């Protein structure tokens, strides 16, 4: 078996400027994932279920595991000194690491420590999403928000960890998408899928249909299209929605399909976070031969203006996203 560390080290030759820092950074994320995985498997036996007596910057109630996962990821990244700072969905502002190698590190990390955390109490799959950028402030100077407010096409690496029937870490550095399954007996992530690609055709759509009345007209029309019988295009499509972005996306990556989280009357700008969820998933999707859009443009071209900016998000097989875009461009009815 090839471990994550061995694989990343072997791939360093693909980067002319590689110095081993990125490899160490990914190892730190894997360390945090092992800890989070251990805590999740003990849910119900230890006091990590339910909500914490706090809320994040968006005013959303935090679960106990949200807080635990956030602190563990920061601790793992700080301990290796390969990161200049971190921005988290759970924190109000960026966290700047000081002292040691951190001050001269080339990288910053943005993270959603526990995607789908509202599902943890009912034993449904959750995940961790991460995004890595090269800092834009000069080495030796303090980093600032501008290091984090970069468009998604500037990502150096991105990935996610899915805590499900098995724990899987998926990542890309712009040279393909690779998956590693956690082997508890070894305490290591081992290569299970190399150079992953979306299937040529997709037949699944993932959306919270309970919000149908709040969706834009184009999304409603596309959903009706998905439900119509048409043997020439293998319709109707299957409807599958878990409620954890990582879990829904991972299924579509393996089986083919489209994930949709449009803007609604309640969230006119969209609900998913551009920096912590949309950008990293979009980067992975495009590396796997799929497309990601906010309904008007490629997600990866959006220049963010704030750390917790939200965006509509549609990601999946090319032909499904392109058809959706046709419906979104129709006049409102």
The answer to the question of whether 271 is labelled as a binding residue is yes
The answer to the question of whether 277 is labelled as a binding residue is yes
In the prediction, which pLDDT does 10 show?
A: 86
In the prediction, which pLDDT does 178 show?
A: 98
3-state class of 145 per DSSP?
helix
In the prediction, which pLDDT does 323 show?
A: 97
The answer to the question of whether 294 is labelled as a binding residue is no
The answer to the question of whether 193 is labelled as a binding residue is no
Question: Can you give the pLDDT of all 333 residues of the chain as single tens digits?
Answer: 899 999 988 887 666 555 678 888 999 999 999 999 998 887 655 555 555 555 565 656 577 888 889 999 999 998 877 899 999 999 999 999 987 777 789 999 999 999 988 777 787 899 999 999 999 999 888 899 999 999 999 999 999 999 998 999 999 999 999 999 999 999 999 999 999 999 999 999 999 999 999 999 999 999 999 999 999 999 999 999 999 999 999 999 999 999 999 999 889 999 999 999 999 999 999 999 999 999 999 999 999 999 999 999 999 999 999 999 999 998 765
The answer to the question of whether 263 is labelled as a binding residue is no
The answer to the question of whether 115 is labelled as a binding residue is yes
CB 282 within 8 A of CB 124: no
Region 204-328: CATH code: 3.40.190.80
CA distance 31 to 286: 27
In the prediction, which pLDDT does 177 show?
A: 97
In the prediction, which pLDDT does 58 show?
A: 61
Checking DSSP bridges between strand 177-183 and strand 155-163, what pairing results, if any? unpaired
The answer to the question of whether 248 is labelled as a binding residue is no
What CATH class does 4-193 carry?
A: alpha beta
Per-domain boundaries in the chain: 4-193, 204-328
Tokens representing 134 are 């090269």
Q: What is the DSSP letter of 266?
A: S
The answer to the question of whether 116 is labelled as a binding residue is yes
In the prediction, which pLDDT does 133 show?
A: 97
Q: By C-alpha distance, which of 51, 292, 328 is closest to 155? A: 292
The answer to the question of whether 121 is labelled as a binding residue is no
Q: Where are the beta strands (DSSP E) in the chain?
A: 51-55, 61-63, 83-88, 95-96, 107-115, 126-134, 155-163, 167-172, 177-183, 188-193, 204-206, 238-239, 258-261, 272-273, 291-293, 310-311, 313-316
């Amino acid at each position: 078996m090839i471990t994550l560390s061995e694989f990343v080290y072997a791939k360093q030759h693909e980067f002319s400027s590689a110095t081993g820092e990125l490899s160490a950074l990914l190892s730190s994320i894997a360390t945090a994932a092992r800890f989070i995985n251990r805590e999740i498997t003990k849910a119900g036996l230890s006091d990590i279920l339910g909500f914490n007596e706090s809320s994040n910057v968006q005013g959303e109630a935090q679960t106990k595991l949200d807080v635990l996962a956030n602190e563990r990821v920061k601790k793992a990244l700080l301990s290796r000194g390969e990161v200049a700072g971190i921005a988290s969905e759970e924190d109000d502002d960026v966290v700047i690491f000081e002292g040691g190698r951190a001050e001269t590190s080339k990288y910053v990390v943005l993270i959603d420590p526990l995607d789908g955390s509202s599902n943890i109490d009912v034993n449904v799959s959750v995940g961790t999403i991460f995004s890595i950028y090269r800092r834009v402030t000069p080495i030796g100077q303090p980093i600032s928000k501008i290091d984090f407010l970069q468009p998604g096409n500037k990502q150096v690496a991105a990935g996610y960890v899915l805590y499900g029937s098995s724990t899987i870490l998926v990542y890309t550095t712009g040279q393909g998408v690779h998956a590693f399954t956690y082997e508890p007996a070894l305490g290591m992530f081992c290569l299970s899928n190399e150079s992953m690609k979306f299937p040529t055709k997709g037949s699944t759509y993932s959306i919270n249909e309970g919000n149908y009345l709040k969706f834009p007209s184009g999304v409603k029309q596309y959903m009706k299209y998905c439900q119509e019988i048409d043997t020439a295009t293998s319709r109707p499509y299957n409807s599958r929605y878990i409620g954890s972005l990582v879990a829904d996306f991972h299924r579509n990556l393996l089986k083919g399909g489209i994930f949709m989280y449009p803007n609604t009357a309640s969230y006119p700008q969209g609900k998913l976070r551009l920096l912590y969820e949309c950008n990293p998933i979009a980067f992975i999707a495009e590396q796997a031969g799929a497309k990601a859009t906010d309904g008007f443009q490629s997600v990866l071209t959006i220049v963010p203006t704030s750390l917790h900016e939200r965006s509509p998000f549609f990601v999946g097989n090319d032909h499904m996203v392109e058809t959706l875009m046709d419906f979104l461009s129709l006049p409102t009815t």
